[in-house]
């Protein structure tokens, strides 16, 4: 089973899929399930954006896994609790779009709720090689969160983008840090190095739909010089474990 850990609903950099096209794209690449957060929730209104994801979940309950966007400036804990009651299975944080540091106190209740509910937290990380791109999710903040919330599965979205090699080194010592390979500029050895340093059990397949096509990350994994079991873990088995899904295959 292939599970996409990182997808979006809504207009993203001028590109948008309707519900049918979204599902057709999953079918084309044999992606069984997709973890979806709302672009509207990331940049405008969390409540209405999360509700749009809920509607997609209700339309395709076997395919769409909702990740609730928590805006630290607008009652993040209340919104997370509301979404979890409606069936969302994870939390999405975007420190950059919300102009708020990952280590800020307003995110603390969200991580505490994630710990209580045993659900993963995915956050946007990285940028270019400029230090300023990491001001909202610094390596120090990632380490501090991994240590303080060792019971929470924390997914580093994009695995640091331009600083992916450093991000791998930062994540390596922490069993609760996972690397999401989603990236618009793939590097041929990125998956192999991640597997070597942190283990295949902590590397996750993501697409960044609708911005990017799934062909890129799928090709990156399938073309990597790792064994078939490691590929299976990355493509879906790891996410099944994080989402507490039963393996029926």
- How is residue 141 written in tokens? 């903040």
CA distance 167 to 148: 18
Picking from 193, 184, 116, 183, the residue whose alpha carbon sits closest to that of residue 156 is 183
pLDDT, mean of residues 152-174: 94
- pLDDT value at residue 186: 75
pLDDT over 80 (residue 133): no
- pLDDT value at residue 185: 72
Domains in the chain, CATH or no CATH each: 3-242 (3.20.20.140)
Q: Sign of dihedral through CA atoms 100, 103, 108, 111?
A: positive
- pLDDT value at residue 11: 72
- pLDDT value at residue 165: 92
pLDDT over 70 (residue 148): yes
Percentage of the residues of the chain whose pLDDT score is greater than 70: 93
Q: Sign of dihedral through CA atoms 34, 125, 123, 136?
A: negative
- How is residue 124 written in tokens? 């946007």
pLDDT tens-digit map of 134-144:
678 889 999 99
The mean predicted confidence, pLDDT, of the chain is 92
CA distance 27 to 62: 13
pLDDT, mean of residues 11-36: 87
Query: 14-18, 166-170, 207-211: which has the minimum mean pLDDT?
Result: 14-18
Q: Are 157 and 206 spatial neighbours (Cβ–Cβ below 8 Å)?
A: yes
């Amino acid at each position: 089973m292939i599970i996409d850990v990182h997808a979006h609903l809504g207009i993203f950099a001028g590109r948008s899929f309707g519900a049918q096209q979204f599902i057709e794209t999953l079918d084309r690449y044999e992606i069984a399930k997709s973890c979806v957060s709302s672009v509207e929730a990331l940049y405008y209104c969390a409540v209405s954006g999360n509700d749009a994801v809920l509607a997609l979940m209700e339309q395709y309950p076997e395919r769409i896994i909702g990740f609730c966007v928590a805006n630290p400036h607008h009652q993040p804990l209340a919104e997370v609790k509301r979404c979890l009651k409606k069936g969302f299975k994870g939390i999405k944080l975007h420190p950059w779009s919300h102009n708020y540091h990952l280590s800020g106190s307003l995110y603390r209740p969200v991580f505490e709720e994630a710990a209580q509910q045993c659900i993963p937290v995915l956050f946007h990380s990285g940028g270019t090689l400029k230090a300023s791109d990491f001001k909202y999710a610094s390596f120090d903040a990632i380490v501090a969160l991994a240590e303080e919330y060792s019971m929470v599965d924390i997914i580093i979205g994009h695995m640091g983008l331009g600083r992916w090699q450093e991000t791998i080194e930062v994540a390596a010592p922490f069993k609760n840090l996972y690397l999401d390979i989603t990236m618009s500029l793939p590097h041929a050895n990125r998956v192999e190095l991640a597997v070597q340093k942190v283990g295949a059990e902590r590397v996750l397949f993501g697409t960044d739909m609708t911005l990017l096509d799934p062909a890129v990350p799928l090709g990156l994994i399938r073309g990597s010089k790792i064994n078939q079991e490691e590929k299976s873990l990355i493509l879906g088995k790891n996410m099944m474990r994080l989402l507490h899904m039963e393996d029926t295959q």
